[in-house]
Structure 1
Amino acid sequence: MSDYPEASAAPVEAFEPPYYVAVFTAVRSQEQSGYSETNARMEDLVNDVPGFLGMDHAQTPGGLGITVGYFRDADALMEWRNNAEHRAAQQRGQAEWYQSYTLHVAKVERSHGFTRVHAPQSATAG
């Protein structure tokens, strides 16, 4: 049921705290008419919110979808929360697209990341 494009193999970078995350975890229903178009529109809209830092998506084989949105401050997150089109999509999601979901919002106090630059070389006896 995933409508997300093939994700890159890298997560959103670690940002200098503090910042906020909104973790949306959902199981979708069988009714998905209009979901893909609305999802694409929401991604366009959130990218226009000043203070939006990025988004990660993951989908389990069992159908659990997880989206994490990163926001510079509480004002940016509130702007997204109160966006009229986003509110309408939430209502439609409850009525049609989601079997269940949870939303967790948290202030990030610590953040770091790692990226391997070169493939590790194996030790060989010689």
Structure 2
Amino acid sequence: MEQKPDGSYYAVIFTSKRTDGDQGYGHMADRMEELAEKQPGFIGVESVRDAAGVGITVSYWDSLEAIGNWKRNEAHQVAQEKGKQVWYENYTVRVCKVEREYSFGLV
């Protein structure tokens, strides 16, 4: 996460299993990250995917309102629909409130 918020904030945890092949996924993922970074309330994002196609992306937001606005973003809705039709075998979205955080070895 680039920005450290004061107090609590929210995390959207997106776990997924990808279908085989890229089929435009990489480009769209980059585009969605660029777009999310411009959204009011966006704090940061972290993402990993293993060789079997299982991935976890966690985006951080300052409010539930900001999360709702991102979910309703027109370009994001197009990506969500394409994900259901082409890119994902399955996924789960969890919205969590982060009450505190601590780290080791990070600057």
TM-score range, shorter chain: 0.7 to 0.9
Structure showing greater radius of gyration is: 1
Residue 37 to residue 96, structure 1, CA distance change in 2 (3 Å): same
2:72 aligned with 1:82: yes
Instruction: Decide which of 49, 60, 84 is 1:70's aligned counterpart.
Output: 60
- Tell me the TM-score normalized by structure 1: 0.76
Residue 34 to residue 17, structure 1, CA distance change in 2 (3 Å): same
Residues 19, 53 of structure 2: 8 Å contact kept: no
Question: Which residue matches 2:18?
Answer: 28
- Tell me the TM-score normalized by structure 2: 0.88
Question: Which residue matches 1:54?
Answer: 44
Distance in 1 (alpha carbons) for counterparts of 2:14 and 2:32: 14
Structure 2 unpaired stretches of 5+? none
How well do the aligned residues superpose, as a CA RMSD in angstroms?
A: 1.7
Query: Per residue, is there more strand in 1 or in 2?
Result: 2
Query: Per residue, is there more helix in 1 or in 2?
Result: 2
Q: How many residues align?
A: 106
Question: Which residue matches 1:97?
Answer: 87
Residue 31 to residue 63, structure 1, CA distance change in 2 (3 Å): closer
